[in-house]
Amino acid sequence: MKELSKNLKCIVLRNGIEIWKEEERLNDLIKKLSFNQKVGFIKIDGELINSADIIGIFSGQTMEDYTRRKNGQWKCKYGNWHDKGEKCNCEFYNLTDEEKARLSRGF
C-alpha cells in the first residue's frame, strides 16, 4: 500500500491509470463529483484529465485489497490474506493455548 506521512487517495481512470494524491488536495474534486456537478476536464499536477473517465477515488486500503485479489489472493474470515489454492489454518492459530492443547490430546 502506498502510504507516506499524508493520507493518500487513488484516482482510478477507465484506462487503468492510477493517480495517487494527498486526500486534502482532492477534496474539491470529491465534493464536485459527489454532488454530480459537471466537472469536465481537470488539471492535476500538469496532467489534463477528463472527469468522465474517473471510475472512482479510493483509499490506499481499498487499492491494496483490489491488487491482492487481482493477483489471486483471498481474504479469510479472520482477516488474513492467502495465496490462491492455499488452505486457511487461521482458526487453529486463533485458538488459545489451552484449546490447542485440548485438540492435540484429541478432546
| Torsion angle of the four alpha carbons 81, 82, 87, 93, in this order, in degrees rounded to the nearest 10 | -40
- Domain range enclosing 3: 1-71
Residue range 52-90, pLDDT digits in tens: 999 999 999 999 999 999 999 999 888 889 999 998 887
Are residues 41 and 3 part of one domain? yes
Are residues 41 and 93 part of one domain? no
- pLDDT value at residue 103: 61
Are residues 20 and 63 part of one domain? yes
Q: What is the average pLDDT across 2-12?
A: 77
Are residues 41 and 1 part of one domain? yes
pTM over 0.85: no
Are residues 86 and 64 part of one domain? no
Are residues 53 and 38 part of one domain? yes
